[in-house]
Structure 1
Amino acid sequence: MDYDETFIPVVKPAIMRTVLSLALSCSRPMHQLDVKNAFLHGTLTETVYCSQPTGFVDPARPEMVCRLNKSLYGLKQAPRAWYSWFATFLVTLGFTEAKSDMSLTCFSRSSPPCSLQQEFAMKDLGVLHHFLGVTVEPRPSGLLLHQRQYTLDILERAGMTDSNPCSTPVDTQAKLSEDVGTPVADPTAYRRLAGALQYLTFTRPDITYAVQQLVVYTDADWAGCPDTRRSTSGYAVFLGGNLVSWSSKRQPVVSRSSAEAEYRAVANGVAEASWLRQLLAKLHSLLAKSTLVDNVSVMYLSTNPVQHQRTKHVEIDLHFVRDRVAIGDVRVLHVPTTSQFADIFTKGLPSATFSEFRSSLNITGG
């Protein structure tokens, strides 16, 4: 083992959507630069040797190896070596790391430094139009983010280019179980496609001009898993009218009531909102704060010191949400189920409801 650490911060999609939303609402230009051969700039702290490159072998000493001074593509520690060097260099220019996420660095002076191009071989990509496989198209009302080519590639990989589309992604009556159905012939290919679909969710919303207000919708499908009876939590976080973060995740434990399942979902949504508040504070964006929930029991529990036998199982989540409410970071309000957009992340919906909620999430048909 020739390395000790390989971890580097990876930017969250929510950060990129939040920055795009803020830049758009403030009419800020979005410029894109690319560092050529970025990983080759990283300095290694470990001693690493490699074979002599093909075509450059010393005929007098073919058995000798090369000692690396810089990282190479393919080394496990190459990403971390690059990040460590680049982050340190940015700090010397006056950038500061966001405490909420180390992948975001900010520069708050009136004019940005030009030292990056003096230090690195940079490619000026101009106005933002494409990044990480996502296409950015300007529209009169804002920006359209899409992954059309990536979607077509997934369909071709799955052999489904001639398949007919469905009106909803999940049937309202479907309850998938481990014991139902025939196992897939190639589990690796299935996992690969599942991972590709996960990345496809990057471009769920369009980004539009909006007033800056942070709103979180949370919901839970109580005991929805037929195998474990665990609930599915979902939340949707809006910055202004822009959907910047969302989640659909199976809860780790069984909930004894719908209120308990909802409260765990609220805690997840409040945690995401708290993180986004720190991020927005770093970006000097002031906002109002509201966390909207469609369960009356949760609303009462979050604002009143009610404690009884059935709430012990969610005690940590209970105190966490109450603390955020007490200091004024969030407000928990009631939302009618007909307007609970987070439902789309927890269970199958009728076609009309699904289409209505999809439109409310700023998703346009392709």
Structure 2
Amino acid sequence: MTQTPYYFYDLDLLNETLSCLESNIKGTNFKVHYAVKANNNRDILETISKKGLGADCVSGGEIRWSLESGFSPSEIVFAGVGKTDEEILYALENEVGMIHCESLQEILVINELAERLNTYATIALRLNPNVNPLTHEKISTGLKENKFGLTSLEFEELIQLYPSLNNVRIVGLHFHIGSQIHDMSVYVELCDRINELVPLFEEHIGEFTYLNVGGGLGIDYFEPDENPIPEFKEYFEVFKEALTIDPSIPVHFELGRSIVGQCGSLHTKVLYVKRSEEKNFAVLDAGMTELLRPALYNAYHKIERLDNVTSGEELHYDIVGPICESSDCFGRDILLPELKRGDIITIRSCGAYAESMSLNYNGRDKVPSYVHSSSELVMREKC
């Protein structure tokens, strides 16, 4: 038996998801960039790059991984609220397609660094639209109190300074309001705000040729088997109908979780079963070091015994890890077939923000990953 814990990736489901995505943007002027922060596993990156998607990167390291995995430099966008000088130089030297800028000072730094390289940087301004994504507060990014995007004060100052910036070319706008979003009305509100801001850009900055609306489309963590592929059709339909900008302007998206979230799972073993007067504990060999989301913001993941046999007695368990933190808990009062030492547990929907957020805390080694692919692709009806 394979040593646990480990990540397991179903490349058939990933390819099916990518094909569904592709079918829903066919015939449009939409371009999707995969958000590398969701999962930087090399097999995952190479599978996605072969489908022709771009890459959305938030660090120099992610740019390097993307280039090494076959993504075209021109299809890479570089975002992030705190880019270092070294990362900006790396992006300029590798001629990435677009840099998304989040502060006035960042734009001034990029102009200075581009001048040093005797080149110019093509940039888009990330504006904060003050749209509530109706998601968890720790993955909300589009409200005024969030750290992301130029402030209105900075935008007004930029209008005055832009004519003197000879080594940056500002061509459009970038938005990203949050993650794990299911309410499509949020995206309608974002489109309404974009429709208001584009004329302002054209009036004060110049020709508008680039729009990036971010990502954030959620997945079904509760019933991953019933909904293994997110509602791409409904999602893209919002932007087709609600945006009023010139239809010849490409609309860029940054999807991460919705592409890879359901194709991955975390397999882990029961080390010990503890019983108390109040509850049962199942102590696993995986912990928050392998899946941080539950400890970070009480995220839910479906937990199953690998054989998924439901005959016999079922009991409620707190499913916990070995880390010396009380927050190292994957779920409380989870109903499962009676567990014993050595049982294999599967934690579902771990394709996004599990391996990429893994830690060496408590001196733990990073765990391996395995992929499965039968190369047989079966499309679901809704795609």
Question: Would you say same fold, with TM above 0.5?
Answer: no
Q: Which structure has the larger Rg over C-alpha atoms?
A: 1
Give the TM-score taking structure 1 as reference length: 0.28
